């Protein structure tokens, strides 16, 4: 007992103690539900068996049924569009802003801080505001597009099947840009100034310096932000709930919203779990990319 106590106080026992607390927390509140979700995707679940763990095992039937449904592939395609367009938009705008603030004009850091406001706003609030902006008859976006002559008639962003997914993507890009910008800013400020001076003396112009110094030095940051972006956009739920509810007719439905809809509105828990498992696979891949890219940081 004394040895145990002294190891707790002096040595490795203390480290293990520190680690075990968050690990226990993670296992109970994340690990177990995850496992339970996977198990559920192989079971037949209905309202009556919801309370018990030992439910009939049905193998891959849920997966087969899911892909037999006509809306599955369009929703998966929507998800891919949503993820790719959101990440591309957030990254390009965020990186552009980070480069802009990096020039360090007077008030740059102050203004950069203000940009974080969009990131701390709740998704539902952002959705509500974008509902107004995107509104078909009196929305400010339509007003701008119409007045600048880009469109002839109003676009009904939220109810037109051709636009409803893009309505959510636009809002999501707005929501995620500031996070991208902050991470890119951190990456940029970690590049030593004298590298630019050296390359300037070596004859490189601004464009060449960007391609040969900035981008390669940012590789790990970019890998990290894209992996995180994949995780964040696969999590994006509030905006769908607030703006389109996945409609019209699934035109803007994505897997994360569909999983919730199946489980908690149609009470088809098995299908909901099955979709979640498919998403877990994608998130796992993203996590591996993230961990690897932060491990391969190139520094001095």
Partner 1 sequence: MTAQIELTNVNKYYGAYHALKDIELSIRKGSFTALVGPSGCGKSTLLRSLAGLESISSGTLRIAGEVMNAVPPRKRDVAMVFQSYALYPHMTVEENLTYSLRIRGVAKTERKKAANEVAAVTGLTHLLGRYPRELSGGQRQRVAMSRAIIRHPKAFLFDEPLSNLDAALRVHMRKEIRALHDRLGATSVYVTHDQVEAMTMADHVVIMRDGVIEQQGSPLELYDQPGNKFVAGFIGSPAMNFLPAVGGQDGRSIILDLGVKQAIVLDREVQPGQALIVGLRPEHIELAAADEGVLSAQVALVESTGATCFLTMATTPELSVVFNGRSEARAGDRVGLNFAPGSIHLFDANTERRLPD
Site residues, partner 1 (CB under 8 A): 192, 194-195, 197-205, 208, 212-213, 216-217, 219, 298-300
Nearer to partner 1, 88 or 191 (CB): 191
Cβ 215 to partner 1, closest distance in Å? 10
What is the C-alpha separation between 27 and 151, in angstroms, rounded?
53
Cβ 216 to partner 1, closest distance in Å? 4
Nearer to partner 1, 120 or 298 (CB): 298
Cβ 201 to partner 1, closest distance in Å? 5
Cβ 300 to partner 1, closest distance in Å? 5
Cβ 195 to partner 1, closest distance in Å? 6
Nearer to partner 1, 162 or 192 (CB): 192
Nearer to partner 1, 61 or 209 (CB): 209
Nearer to partner 1, 20 or 208 (CB): 208
């Amino acid at each position: 007992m004394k040895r145990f106590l002294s190891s707790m106080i002096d040595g490795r026992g203390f480290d293990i103690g520190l680690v075990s607390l968050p690990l226990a927390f993670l296992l109970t509140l994340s690990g177990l539900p995850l496992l339970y979700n996977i198990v559920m995707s192989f079971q037949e679940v209905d309202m009556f068996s919801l309370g018990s763990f030992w439910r009939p095992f049905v193998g891959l039937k849920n997966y087969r049924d899911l892909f037999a449904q006509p809306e599955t592939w369009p929703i998966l395609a929507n998800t891919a569009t949503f993820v790719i367009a959101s990440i591309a938009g957030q990254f390009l705008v965020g990186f552009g802003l980070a480069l802009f603030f990096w020039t360090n004009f007077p008030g740059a850091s102050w203004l950069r801080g203000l940009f974080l406001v969009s990131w701390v706003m709740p998704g539902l609030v952002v959705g509500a505001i974008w509902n107004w902006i995107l509104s078909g008859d009196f929305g400010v976006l339509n007003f701008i597009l119409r007045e600048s002559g880009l469109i002839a008639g109003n676009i009904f962003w939220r109810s037109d099947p051709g636009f409803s997914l893009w309505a959510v993507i636009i809002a999501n890009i707005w929501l995620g840009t500031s996070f991208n910008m902050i991470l890119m800013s951190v990456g940029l400020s970690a590049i030593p100034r004298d590298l630019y001076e050296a390359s300037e003396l070596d004859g490189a112009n601004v464009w060449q310096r960007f391609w040969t110094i900035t981008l390669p030095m940012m590789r790990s940051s970019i890998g990290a932000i894209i992996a995180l972006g994949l995780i964040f956009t696969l999590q994006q739920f509030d905006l769908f709930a607030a703006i389109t509810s996945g409609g019209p007719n699934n035109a803007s439905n994505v897997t994360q919203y569909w999983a919730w809809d199946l489980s908690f509105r149609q009470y088809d828990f098995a299908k909901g779990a099955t979709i979640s498992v498919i998403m877990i696979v994608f998130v796992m891949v993203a996590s591996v990319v993230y961990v690897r890219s932060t491990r391969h940081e190139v520094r001095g």
